[in-house]
């Protein structure tokens, strides 16, 4: 079924954020047609006046031309906190590209998070910014599990786009998120991407509530019942033992692999050919920018 699409006028597309990875959040769309089962951003639906389920509608933003874009000089603008800036519809509406064009020459530091290789279209613009980082969300190398979780492009297409950008000198991130206990093989993903990314973010699956909690638990109950006791321990009883053990394991893995393992991500100043930095954002809602 085709998504319900409407075009809306907004006062601004750039908003202040408390996320630990940016000064400002940038979301050229409202909603997301990737339809990820685990999408925490579904809370946005209550602000949209859409009766359709989350993942089946999209609002295309139009905003006044940014005045004095130089005020963002040296600031981190994070594209994609509650939507993907390179949804398939971006190929038609080009709102992300329009914004990048408006920000050219501003001195802003650009971070983009996506599940799409459409970002390669804008390589000409990305090269024009003094600091750019493009991240790809990859939480499995198993295409069957991926297709159960989202409607985005394949993992291989994401990996190929990451390599293409990295080969062009663009800093790249592998965002291993959300990590599904007992399913996501974190070390295998790192082994696959470590030669083509500068940064590896790690984020745990966090079922804070909403329809996605019941959807994920229903999926585990039906498709991976052997994991149900573990998921109930974590998400019903609040145990952090699994994440604490994974943290210890990944610290040992990093130490044995020559990788850095930290709790901040100021990697723009590191040499491009430095080993990838692994950043633990488990329970990132408890972390604020500039702390850790």
pTM of the shown model: 0.91
Question: Tokens 């790249």 belong to which residue?
Answer: 172
Q: Whose structure tokens read 């901040």?
A: 264
What pLDDT is recorded for position 19?
A: 81
The neighbouring-strand residues paired with 262 are: 279
What pLDDT, on the 0 to 100 scale, is given for residue 284? Answer: 56
CA dist., res. 176 & res. 106, Å (int): 30
pLDDT of 173: 96
Q: How far apart are CA 114 and CA 158, in angstroms?
A: 9
Cβ of 58: how many Cβ atoms within 10 Å?
A: 23
Question: How far is 245 from 250, CA to CA, in rounded Å?
Answer: 9
CATH 3.20.20 for domain 4-286: yes
DSSP string computed for 201-254: EEEE----SSHHHHHHHHHHHHH-GGGHHHHHHHHTT---HHHHHHHHHHHHHH
Report the C-alpha gap between 189 and 184 in whole angstroms. Answer: 9
**What is each CA distance from 121 to 30, 86, 117, 152, 172, in whole angstroms?**
22, 10, 8, 17, 16
Which pLDDT tens digit goes with each residue over 232-263?
Answer: 999 999 999 999 999 999 999 999 999 999 86
Q: In this predicted structure, what is the pLDDT of residue 42?
A: 64
**pLDDT for 291:** 30
User: Which residues of the chain fall below pLDDT 70?
Assistant: 41-47, 209-210, 263-269, 284-292
**Domain ranges in the chain?**
4-286
Which of 130-134's residues contact partners 24+ apart within 8 Å by CB, and which partners? 131/171, 131/268, 132/170, 132/171, 133/170, 133/171, 133/172, 133/173, 133/198, 133/199, 133/267, 133/268, 134/162, 134/165, 134/170, 134/171, 134/172, 134/173
């Amino acid at each position: 079924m085709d998504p319900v699409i409407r075009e809306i006028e907004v006062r601004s597309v750039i908003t202040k954020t408390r996320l630990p990875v940016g000064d400002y959040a940038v979301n050229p769309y409202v909603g997301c047609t990737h339809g990820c089962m685990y999408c925490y951003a579904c809370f946005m639906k209550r602000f949209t006046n859409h009766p359709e389920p989350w993942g089946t509608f999209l609002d295309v933003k139009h905003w006044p031309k940014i005045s004095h874009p130089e005020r963002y000089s040296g600031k981190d603008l994070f594209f994609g906190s509650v939507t993907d800036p390179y949804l398939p519809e971006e190929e038609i509406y080009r709102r992300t590209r329009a914004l990048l064009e408006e920000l050219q020459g501003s001195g802003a530091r650009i971070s983009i998070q996506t599940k799409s290789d459409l970002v390669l279209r804008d390589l000409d613009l990305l090269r024009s910014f003094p600091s750019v980082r493009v991240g790809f969300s990859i939480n499995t190398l198993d295409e069957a599990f991926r297709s159960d979780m989202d409607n985005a492009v394949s993992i291989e297409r994401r990996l190929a786009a990451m390599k293409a950008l990295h080969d062009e000198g663009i800093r790249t991130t592998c965002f291993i998120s959300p990590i599904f206990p007992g399913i996501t093989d974190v070390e295998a993903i790192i082994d696959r991407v470590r030669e083509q990314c500068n940064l590896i973010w790690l984020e745990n699956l966090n079922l804070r509530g909403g329809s996605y909690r019941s959807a994920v638990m229903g999926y585990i109950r039906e498709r991976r019942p052997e994991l149900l006791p573990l998921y109930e321990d974590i998400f019903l009883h609040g145990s952090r033992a699994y994440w604490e053990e994974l943290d210890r394991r990944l610290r040992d893995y990093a130490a044995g692999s020559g990788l850095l393992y930290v709790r901040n991500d100021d990697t723009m100043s590191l040499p491009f050919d430095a080993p990838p930095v692994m950043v633990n954002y488990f329970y990132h809602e408890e972390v604020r920018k500039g702390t850790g």
